[in-house]
Amino acid sequence: MIPGPVSLVAFFLCVVVGTAALLAAKSKPFAVGVLVWLAITGLVGWLGLVRNFQHAPPPMFMLLLAAVALTVVTALSRIGSRLVAEAGIVWLVGVQAFRIAVEIFLDWGHQVNLVPVQMTFEGRNCDIVSGVSAAGVAWLAAKGRAPRWLILLWNCVGLALLLNIVVIAILSMPTPLRRFHNEPANTFVAYLPYIWLPTFLVQLALFGHLLVFRWFYQTRTD
């Protein structure tokens, strides 16, 4: 059974589909890979293979490590290089605005007792700043008014905010590492479709930041 009201599930699915469509618009082969990954992780969530948080190590941790490794390898591969060249810095920054919708979902989830408060902007999650600022920095970049130092600063801050919420989410899971003991514990991410939050949406944010760093490297002047 999928936890949470139908409206929340529908909103989350719209966020996933919308962001996947943004990727498909830039790279059809990459979009195929994304669909395969969504299918694999969706099956994992549907079968409940990562819901045992007491196992050592928790299977969710292993899935997250695999997701991060795949994200980093892809970003550093020819696929990442091609995306940087074809998409451009305006798209690479602007796509991170999807994090606004993610924060709305998390806050909504908290209101229905699905998401712990520390994972929302009412608690310790400031990642909405990344989404809002992405729209502003992308607009400046489109106008040619975003210096490289500003884009670099934005990218570093956005990556730090992403790391912050990932750590909070891990410390909110019912594992021996748990430090936030308020309820509910962070277990909803082990269920379909919410499993796509850590395995796809978080990875997309990380992927985007890594591609911006690649853009700096590929457009450097000797």
Q: Are 199 and 67 in contact (CB under 8 A)?
A: yes
- Which band of pLDDT confidence, cut at 50, 70 and 90, is reported for residue 26? confident
Residue 222 has pLDDT above 70, yes or no: no
pLDDT tens, position by position, 104-140: 999 999 999 999 999 999 999 999 999 999 999 999 9
| Mean pLDDT of the residues in the chain | 95
Residue at 138: amino acid letter: A
Residue 199 has pLDDT above 70, yes or no: yes
Q: Span 93-114, mean pLDDT?
A: 97
Residue 221 has pLDDT above 80, yes or no: no
- Which band of pLDDT confidence, cut at 50, 70 and 90, is reported for residue 212? very high
Q: What is the pLDDT of residue 30?
A: 84
- Which band of pLDDT confidence, cut at 50, 70 and 90, is reported for residue 1? confident
Q: How many percent of the chain have pLDDT more than 90? A: 87
pLDDT tens, position by position, 35-91: 999 999 999 999 999 999 999 899 999 999 999 999 999 999 998 999 999 899 999
Q: Are 192 and 50 in contact (CB under 8 A)?
A: no
Q: Is the pTM of this model over 0.85?
A: yes
Q: Where are the alpha helices (DSSP H) in 77-194?
A: 78-94, 98-111, 128-142, 148-171
Exposed e or buried b per residue across 91-119, where buried means at least 16 C-beta atoms within 10 angstroms of its C-beta: bbbbbbbbbbbbbbbbbbbbeeebbbbbb
Q: Span 176-200, mean pLDDT?
A: 97
